[in-house]
Amino acid sequence: MTTTSTDPALIAVWVSMADHFLDTETRHDLPLTALRCVEAGLSPADARAIWQHDVSPAVGFNLFDVAGEWACWDRDWLIATIESVRKSRWHRPGMWRAMRWPMPLMGGQWLAIERCIDFLQALPSPRIRQRTANDLAFLARHWFDVSGPALSGLPEEERRGIRRLYPALFGFLLGSALSARERKGAERRMQLALSEVAA
């Protein structure tokens, strides 16, 4: 991949991915992270390499810090840190890089991003991709209990689009980011939210 850090689309990917390493709930934004990857022209394999070898080494420490960063990353610090990671000898492709980061951190969240990338790339236009990513994120606010706005307040056309996404497609795309113990509560919240749409 020849993209450099001067590419604003790549920086948008870094920032969006790094937010998932904050010590707060961000899983509702997984579809929007996938959209940033699609907008940057990344394949799922390219995006995975960025998640695994650029972003994880830069901010993965926050997952293990008891009093970790939760508000937001300083943008200049984040860009400089990722650029430093990319210049490191550990970053060069080969055995050493694979040994350092053999698997993506937060694999369930990564799998959700990857599935969303595949799904969004197959849609016919940027406008439809944006609308669908927004709809997935809208549903995800209820799924991950982030106080999403009432679905009943949406125009009828948007309601229909959202109802088509849940449960089967939405569950496939984002289900890997949900732990087994969270599932029952998530499904209850979604049923309540969608019953408001039907009303």
**Domain ranges within the chain, ordered by starting residue:** 8-100, 107-198
Rounded mean pLDDT of the chain?
A: 87
User: Which tokens sit at 121?
Assistant: 């790339």
User: Which tokens sit at 148?
Assistant: 């999403």
Residue 68's pLDDT band, with cuts at 50, 70 and 90, is low
CA angle 172, 174, 177 (to 5 degrees): 125
pLDDT at 18: 96
pLDDT at 99: 46
| CB 42 within 8 Å of CB 13 | yes
pLDDT at 95: 44
Burial bucket for residue 163 (CB in 10 Å: 0-12, 13-18, 19+): middle
Dihedral of CA atoms 85, 90, 91, 93 in degrees, nearest 10, equals 180
Q: What is the mean pLDDT of residues 38-52?
A: 95
* pTM of this structure: 0.88
Q: For the segment 106-155, what is each residue's pLDDT rounded down to a tens digit?
A: 889 999 999 999 999 999 999 999 999 999 999 999 999 877 778 878 88
C-alpha gyration radius of the chain: 17
